[in-house]
Amino acid sequence: MSIPSDLEIAQKATLKPLDDIAAAMELPSHLLEMHGRDVAKIELDAIDVMADRPQAKYVVVTAITPTPLGEGKTTTTVGLGQAFSHIGKRGVVAIRQPSMGPTFGIKGGAAGGGYSQVVPMEKFNLHLTGDFHAVTSAHNMLSAVLDNHLYQGNAAGLDPYRVTWRRVLDVNDRALRNVVTGLGGRMDGVPRESGFDITSASEVMAILALSTSLEDMRARLGRIVVGYTGDGDAVTAEDIHGAGSMAALMRDALKPNLMQTLENTPVLVHSGPFGNIATGNSSIVADRIGIHCGDYLVTEAGFGADMGAERFFNIKCRTSGMVPDAAVVVATVRALKAHSGNHRIVAGKDLPPALLEENPDEVHAGGANLRKQIENMRIHGVSPVVCINAFPTDHPSEHAAIREIGESMGARVAVSTHFTDGGAGGAELAEAVAEAANEPGDFRFLYADDAPLREKIEAVATKVYGADGVDYAPAANTSIDLYERNGFSNLPVCIAKTHLSISSDPKLLGAPTGWRMPVREVRASVGAGFVYPICGDMRTMPGLGKQPAAHSIDVQPDGTIVGLF
C-alpha cells in the first residue's frame, strides 16, 4: 500500500479555527493568544480557571527499546488521541516541541506521521511561537552575565576551572562542541574553555518542562548552579544576578501552545527537553491545563520505557503531583526482530531485506525486551497496554507473536493502524486504554525523596535496567559527595545512557542480565530539579550526517515549504 508523504498529507489538511478547538476543550476563547491562524498560546490563567472541572484519565505513551529509526511513539500518541473520538470519547494530546537540530538533521521532523499528525506540520517543526529561541536567549544571557562576572572581578569567587555553564544553539553543529571564549585582548573577556550544547539539552529547557507556575519557574532559574568556588561551594544564577533577566525572557515561553491533529483533536505542544540527559517529556503546565479539557489526556515519554517513562514517573509526576492511570507500550515487529540479534538497523539506510521476511520466531526471540518494559510499568503500579504499531510490511503471524508475549505478561494488547487509517485505525487501542485506565490505581515511585543519591541511582539501575549493581568512577564519587554536601541529595536522578539498550551498552539487546552499570561522571541540574549520572559518552551537541535533511528542505516561489518528512 502506498500513501502520500507526511508533508503531502499535512498540507492537504482541513484545519478548524482554533476558537472551535478551544470550544471542544471547554477552554474560554479569551484565554487564547493567537499566533497567526493556526497556533495559539494559552494564558496561564487557564490553570486556575479550569482547576475545578473534572479530571481526564491521564495516559502516558512509551515504548520498547527502539531501533535507531524510532518505533512511532509520537505517531501513536497522536493516533490514540484521535481514536478516542471514534469510541465516543474526547481525547486531548500533549507532546514536546521538536528541536530544529534533528529536523534539519537525520530525523526530519517530529509531528507524528501518516494520518496521525499535528498540523500545520511546517509551523510545528519550524520556530512555532519562538519558545526554543526564548530558551536559547535566556540560557546565553546567563552565559554572558557569568563571563561578565568573571571579567568584572569575580565577587562570587568562582573557580574558572570549575565553571559548569556552557552555551546553547538549536542546530546540529559538531564544530561548537568545544570552544575557547575570551580570546583577543584584555578587553575581550577572561579566556577559558567552554562549549555549546543543543538548546534541547539546556537546563533552561528542562526548567520550562518541569515548572508548575511562573513563580516556580523564576525560583528554579535562580537555583541554577553555574559553577563552584575553590572550596566547592555552589554558585547560582541568583548569586551572580542573572536569573531575573532570564525569567523576563522566558515569561511568554511558559504559556503552552495549542494546535490540532489532522482530525482536529486538540494538541498542547510545549517544551522539548533532551531525552538522554533530561526528562524527555512535555511540560507540566500543559498537562495541568489539558487534564481538565477532555476525557483522556494522552502524553508521550521519550525513548523506551526504561528512560522516558521512568523519568515521567519519578521526576515529572513527583513534581506535578499528577498520577497516571494507564501506560501504552508501543511495540513494532521490526524492533523485536532487531532485539533477536539477527539484524542491524542503521539510521538513514534501507532496512535489511531479511528483516521484512515473515518470521514470528524472531519476534519471540526479541520478546524479552517487551516483557521487561511491561514489568517496568508494573514496578510503578501502572496498567500497561501493548500497542502493536502496525507496518504494511508486517505479517499477521508476527502480530500474533507480539500479542502472545504481551498477554503472557497479563497486559492488554491491541493492533493499531493509526499511521495508515488515522483515528479509526486506533479504535481497538483506545478501547483497551479506556479499560486499563478504569482499573484501580496503585501508582508508586521507585525511591523516596530522602534516599541518598547512590541509593536512587542503584534503584533505577537494578530494578528498571536489570543491572547487578553500579560501579562509580572516582570523579563520579567526588561529584556525588560534593552535591550531597551542597544539599542536593533530595533531588531525583535522571540517568544519562544509551537509548538503544535497556542497559548502558548499546550493543546489549533484549533484556540483558549479568552486567554492571558504569557511572563515568555525575552532573546536577539543580534548577530543573534532578541529578544526572552519565554512563558512556553522551553527545549534547549532535552533528549533521552526510546527507542531512537540510540538503532537501527548501521554499517554493509561492512560499510552500518542501523537503520536510
Q: Is residue 72 part of an annotated ligand binding site?
A: yes
CA 381 to chain centre: 21
Q: Is residue 280 part of an annotated ligand binding site?
A: no
Q: Is residue 68 part of an annotated ligand binding site?
A: yes
Grid coordinates belonging to 494 = 535522571
Distance CA 282, CA 298 (A): 11
DSSP β-ladder status, 116-119 and 257-261:
antiparallel
Q: Is residue 70 part of an annotated ligand binding site?
A: yes
DSSP letters for 386-416: EEEE--TT--HHHHHHHHHHHHHTT-EEEEE
Q: Is residue 71 part of an annotated ligand binding site?
A: yes
Q: Are 534 and 167 in contact (CB under 8 A)?
A: no
Grid coordinates belonging to 248 = 523576563
CA nearest neighbour of 328 among 548, 49, 81: 81
Q: Are 41 and 259 in contact (CB under 8 A)?
A: no
Grid coordinates belonging to 18 = 482554533
CA 493 to chain centre: 16
Distance CA 264, CA 426 (A): 15
Q: Is residue 66 part of an annotated ligand binding site?
A: no
DSSP β-ladder status, 412-416 and 384-389:
parallel
Q: Are 422 and 429 in contact (CB under 8 A)?
A: no
CA nearest neighbour of 256 among 428, 43, 512, 72: 43
CA nearest neighbour of 37 among 202, 365, 239, 259: 259
Number of H helices and number of E strands within the chain?
21, 25
Helix (H) or strand (E) run with residue 479 in it: helix 474-485
Distance CA 293, CA 287 (A): 10
CA nearest neighbour of 89 among 288, 298, 261: 298
Distance CA 328, CA 76 (A): 9
Q: Are 547 and 553 in contact (CB under 8 A)?
A: no
Annotated binding residues for ATP: 67-74
Annotated binding residues: 67-74
